[in-house]
Amino acid sequence: MPLDPATIAEKCGAPSQNVADNWPLIVAALTEQGILSDLVEVAAAATVGTEVPRFEPISEMGGPEYLSRYDFNTELGNTEPGDGALFKGRGFIQLTGRANYEAAGRALDIDLVGTPDAALDPATAARVLAWFFKTHHVADAADGEQWITVRRRVNGGLNGWDRFSSLVGALNG
């Protein structure tokens, strides 16, 4: 059964207006990518509720010294001094690194490299989330109820696992 904003806000403890404003954008983006299903909705809501508990796109925190650790990170495609700060995490899932901004921007026909803050626009952040869910096979894992795999593919590990798994349980029933 499709999730509604009121249920998501209640289960995630998120401001109801943020969920009401942003959830339809996420559903539209999942639909655009051809991956909308009940379980993918659960994965998306639990992911957003874990990554950005206020259910709105955010920018990665940290000053220049912290963000400079991403400079020249070849796994992220960062090639220039300042790339760490320029291509810091943004959005619902914290799109990070020049290579990811290039790939998402190319796929979604948005200049994310030239305007990285565009990833903070809720509609763009929703499209990035859905693109990531499709291209990194997060949706496939969700449809198979492979929740550990969902978390690892989004987060690179199991940071936030307790909250994520709790939200999956609350939203998937």
pTM of the model: 0.95
What is the per-residue pLDDT for 158?
94
For residue 26, pLDDT over 90 is answered with: yes
- The answer as to CATH 2.60.120 being correct for domain 58-120 is no
Q: Where in the chain is the domain with CATH 3.30.20?
A: 58-120
What is the per-residue pLDDT for 71?
94
CA 35 to chain centre: 15
What is the per-residue pLDDT for 22?
98
173 confidence band (pLDDT: 50, 70, 90): confident
| Pairwise CA distance, residues 22 & 57, whole Å | 9
Element (H, E) at 125: helix 122-135
Half-sphere exposure of 41 (CA within 13 A, CB side): 20
pLDDT, tens only, 70-124: 999 999 999 999 999 999 999 999 999 999 999 999 999 999 999 999 999 999 9
pLDDT, tens only, 146-161: 999 999 999 989 999 9
